[in-house]
Amino acid sequence: SEHKFVHVVLLPSAGVGHLAPFLRLAASLTTHGVQVTVITPHPTVSLAESQTLSHFFTSFPKITQKHLNLLPVDHKQSSNADDPFFHHIQVIRQSSSLLLPLLSSLSPPASALVTDMSLVAAVIPITQVLNLPNYVFFTSSAKMLALFLSYHTIFGSKHTSDLGRSEVIKIPGLEPIPKSWIPPPLLQDKDNLFKISFFEDGKKMTDSSGILVNTSEGFEQETLRKLKEGEVVEGLPTVLAVGPLPPCNLGRCVPLAWLEGQPARSVVYVSFGSRMGMSREQIREVGDGLVRSGSRFIWVVKEKRVDVEDDEDLDQVLGDELMDRVRMKGQVLRWSNQVDILSSPAVGAFVSHCGWNSVIEAFWYGVPILAWPQHGDQKINAEIVERIGIGTWEKSWGCGGELLVNGAKIAERIRYVMENEAFKLQGMRIRDEARKGEGVCGDWNRGLIALCDMLKA
């Protein structure tokens, strides 16, 4: 069976945070002799996604791209109108019937489909019609996966009020989690796609052929063990930790000769991800904090959810006075090549929202993190960062509005992380641990090998 031909089809959903790990999985699978097709929902929400896609398929000419041309669904009619990414996931779900002709027309025929966690309930029935093995790739942490899988058992009904005044959420088999770390949409009575997906897709996971997660035993041993031993949810298919997937460069080169000229570990990199904007007041405090910290820095500034809407001049966003101070010490960008930056020896710390891809990338390059989680899975991920000892999370910091964090506090925490020897040492240890799976044939990550064995069986 070693040489059996396998053709795996990947189907990501909306947002770079979901797309990037799928493309990395695609790249890793090809190095294992697997033929890969990526079905890309078309159009995409952000420019970041479309540019990443065109760069990727140019760099990996052996990987085939197929468009899933989405059905027109009126944005304003959508119950997710306030979040273009959720709206888009909804449209992909509603367009899933188009997958049937697409998948059956593939030549050579598909051996398996790997889909995003937000598409499970829509896609599994189609793979069942086609008798096609279906895997789910969970693009966040194993801890978050545990919440996703057990959400429907914890909440029982679609009404969350039953949780009463309890201050913690108990995922079976795991330590209780403070309620404030749970993504707020999951605690609301009002239906929203995030919650519906946790409910429907999370429940449907048991019908998949296997669950892949971009983490490793080294990062989340205990949670993975509980998942695999069926303590979180009974009757799960195989759970495979296929991470950390090497963060192959996703392109959109942003030239940064400036960075190469800086002393080792002297630069702070700051980014809050591709999904959410930050209020202008908070952005200005971050700028003030960076200048006060005394470090050099590269800072990705984002005010709107979707990059194409972020069209205002940065001088306008920061104000001339702050912009002048900022320019003396740092670089302000609208988008970075994050992997290039984190891989530079000049970078000494990462102020991060703790989107899981950012966390995995920081682990891969051993960069200490000042965690400032804002939404979604980010607090659960931030706790993993803190526990693993590569950074710190200031839990009192909120996400804008009345919980504005001032520049002086930000500067103090940046200095703390930049000067922390323990984070630096642990960073190097984690970097080595992360790369154990890399390298010469046969010495690859065990989860990925197990996946290839399953596919070839």
- Helix count (H) and strand count (E) of the chain? 18, 15
Interface with ligand BUP, residue 373, by CB under 6 A: no
Beta-bridged to residue 270, according to DSSP, are 299, 351
- Beta carbon nearer to ligand BUP, 127 or 357: 357
Distance from C-alpha of 364 to C-alpha of 189, rounded to nearest angstrom = 39
| In the complex, least distance from residue 21 CB atom to ligand BUP, rounded to whole angstroms | 8
Catalytic residue, candidates 83, 116, 201, 288: 116
Kindly state whether residue 399 participates in binding ligand BUP, applying the rule CB under 6 A: no
Based on the shown chain and the rule CB under 6 A, indicate whether residue 385 belongs to the binding site for ligand BUP.
no
Spacing of C-alpha 412 from chain mean position:
28
Q: Per CB under 6 A, does 363 bind ligand BUP?
A: no
Measure Cα distances from 143 to 192, 226, 232, 280, 359 in Å: 22, 10, 10, 32, 14
Using an 8 Å Cβ cutoff, are 136 and 117 in contact?
A: yes
CA distances from 249 to 141, 170, 240, 447 (A): 21, 38, 24, 22
# chain residues binding ligand BUP, by CB under 6 A: 20
Question: Is 209 near ligand BUP (CB under 6 A)?
Answer: no
β-sheet with 210-213: strand ranges across:
64-69, 35-42, 7-11, 112-116, 134-138, 210-213, 238-241
**Residue among 6, 20, 103, 171 that touches ligand BUP (CB under 6 A):** 20
Q: Which residue has the tokens 């159009």?
A: 43
Paired strand residues for 349 = 268
d(CA 224, CA 216): 8
Q: Which lies closer to ligand BUP via its Cβ, residue 222 or residue 310? A: 310
Q: Does 368 bind ligand BUP (CB under 6 A)?
A: no
Give the Å distances, CA to CA, from 402 to 41, 178, 182, 264, 275. Answer: 38, 22, 20, 37, 21
Q: Is residue 202 close enough to count as binding ligand BUP by CB under 6 A?
A: no
Give least dist CB 266 to ligand BUP, A: 20
**Residue 127 binds ligand BUP, judged by CB under 6 A:** no
List the catalytic residue out of 18, 32, 87, 353.
Answer: 18
Report the site for ligand BUP in 243-282 (rule: CB under 6 A): 271, 273-275
Listed ranges 10-18, 66-74, 198-206, 255-263: which one lies at the site for ligand BUP (CB under 6 A): 10-18
What is the Cα–Cα distance from 388 to 407, expressed in whole angstroms?
27
CA distance 48 to 89: 16
Cβ 16 to ligand BUP shortest distance, Å:
4
Distance between CA atoms of 207 and 225, rounded to whole angstroms?
20
Identify which range of 11-19, 195-203, 410-418, 448-456 contacts ligand BUP by CB under 6 A. Answer: 11-19
Residue 338 touching ligand BUP (CB under 6 A): yes
Give the interface segment with ligand BUP, choosing from 104-112, 287-295, 334-342, 400-408 (CB under 6 A).
334-342
Q: How far is the CB of 212 from ligand BUP (least distance, A)?
A: 16
Amino acid of residue 427: G
Residues 282-301 that bind ligand BUP (CB under 6 A): 300
Q: Supply the minimum distance, in Å, between the C-beta of residue 140 and ligand BUP.
A: 7
116 is catalytic: yes
SS3 366: coil
**Shortest Å, Cβ 26 to ligand BUP:** 14
Environment class of residue 57 by beta-carbon count within 10 Å: exposed (0-12), middle (13-18) or buried (19+)?
middle
Q: Which helix (H) or strand (E) holds 297?
A: strand 296-300
Residue 347, beta-bridge partner list: 267
Q: Which stretch binds ligand BUP (CB under 6 A): 95-103, 207-215, 288-296, 355-363?
A: 355-363
Stretch that binds ligand BUP, among 98-106, 197-205, 333-341, 443-451 (CB under 6 A): 333-341
Which of these segments, 15-23, 127-135, 257-265, 389-397, binds ligand BUP (CB under 6 A)? 15-23
Does position 357 bind ligand BUP by CB under 6 A? yes
- Contact between 118 and ligand BUP per CB under 6 A: no
- Minimum distance from CB of 290 to ligand BUP (Å)? 16
Q: Which is nearer to ligand BUP, 269 or 423 (CB)?
A: 269
- Binding of ligand BUP by 16 (CB under 6 A): yes
Which residues have C-beta within 8 Å of that of residue 326, sequence separation ≥ 6?
287, 290, 291, 299, 318, 332
* Least distance to ligand BUP, CB of residue 167, Å: 25
Q: Does 90 sit near ligand BUP (CB under 6 A)?
A: no
Q: What is the rounded radius of gyration, in angstroms, for the C-alpha atoms of the chain?
A: 21
Q: Of these, 64, 337, 343, 426, which contacts ligand BUP (CB under 6 A)? A: 337
Element at 410 (helix H, strand E): helix 407-419
Instruction: Give catalytic residues, as residue numbers.
Output: 18, 116
Binding site for ligand BUP (CB under 6 A): 15-17, 20, 271, 273-275, 300, 335-339, 355-358, 361, 376
